[in-house]
C-alpha cells in the first residue's frame, strides 16, 4: 500500500481505525490498536501512524495517558464521522473486524492486565515494578530491587508468566 494511493483507499484505512475504536468501548494502546488493525487488514506500521496523526488532528480520536501508557479512544466527533462514512468500508472488512476482534481483544485484555517493567537507577541497581490491572484500575503493585539487569529481566519475565499464582501467595502472606 502506498500513501499516495487514491483518496478512497486512504479514507477506508482511517474509517477502519475509527470502526475498531468504536467497537472497543475503552481506550487502547497504540501497539494493541495496530495489532487489531492487522488482524483485519495488512497495513504498513508507518502509514498506520500517519493515519492516527491525521485522526488526532481532526479530533476524531484522542490520545491520553492511562496507567503510564498513552492510549487512544474515539471522540463523539469521530463517532459522527464514522456514521457518515461507514459505507466506505467494504462489508468483508467489517465482517473480518467483527469476527476477528473478539479473540484479539481477549488477548489484548490479558496482556494489559499483567504489567512488569524495570528501570535502572545506576549500573548495578534496578527497580522492578510489577502490577495487575483490572478494568483500568491497578489492583496490585509492588516494586522490588534487583542487583543486575539480568536479575531485573528475570523478575519481569517471571511476573508476566506467573503473576496469577504469585499474587495470591503475596496476599496470603500479607494476611497472616
61 pLDDT higher than 70 = yes
Residue 151 to residue 107: CA distance in whole angstroms: 27
Cβ–Cβ contacts within 10 Å for residue 24, how many?
17
Domains parsed from the chain with CATH numbers: 7-89 (1.10.10.10), 113-174 (no CATH)
4 pLDDT higher than 50 = no
Per-residue pLDDT tens over the stretch 147-172: 999 999 999 999 988 888 888 888 88
Per-residue pLDDT tens over the stretch 83-122: 998 888 888 888 888 777 766 666 665 556 788 889 988 8
Per-residue pLDDT tens over the stretch 27-42: 888 888 888 888 888 8
The pLDDT > 90 percentage for the chain reads 35
135 pLDDT higher than 80 = no
Q: Which residues pair with 140 in a beta bridge?
A: 132
φ/ψ of 69, rounded to 5, equals -130, 145
Cell readout for 64 is: 491520553
Residue 99 to residue 169: CA distance in whole angstroms: 38
Residue 48 to residue 153: CA distance in whole angstroms: 30
Compute the mean pLDDT over every residue in the chain, rounded to the nearest whole number.
85
Amino acid at each position: 500500500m502506498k500513501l499516495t494511493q487514491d483518496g478512497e483507499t486512504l479514507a477506508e484505512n482511517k474509517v477502519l481505525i475509527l470502526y475498531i475504536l468504536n467497537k472497543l468501548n475503552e481506550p487502547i494502546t497504540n501497539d494493541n490498536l495496530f495489532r487489531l488493525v492487522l488482524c483485519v487488514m495488512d497495513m504498513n506500521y508507518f502509514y498506520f501512524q500517519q493515519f492516527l496523526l491525521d485522526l488526532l488532528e481532526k479530533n476524531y480520536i484522542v490520545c491520553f495517558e492511562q496507567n503510564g501508557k498513552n492510549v487512544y479512544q474515539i471522540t463523539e466527533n469521530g463517532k459522527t464521522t464514522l456514521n457518515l462514512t461507514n459505507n466506505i468500508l467494504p462489508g468483508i472488512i467489517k465482517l473480518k473486524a467483527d469476527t476477528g476482534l473478539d479473540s484479539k481483544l481477549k488477548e489484548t485484555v490479558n496482556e494489559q492486565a499483567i504489567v512488569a517493567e524495570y528501570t535502572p537507577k545506576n549500573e548495578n541497581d534496578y527497580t522492578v515494578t510489577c502490577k495487575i490491572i483490572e478494568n483500568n484500575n491497578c489492583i496490585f503493585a509492588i516494586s522490588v530491587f534487583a542487583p543486575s539487569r539480568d536479575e531485573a529481566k528475570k523478575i519481569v519475565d517471571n511476573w508476566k508468566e506467573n503473576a496469577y499464582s504469585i499474587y495470591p501467595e503475596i496476599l496470603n502472606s500479607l494476611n497472616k
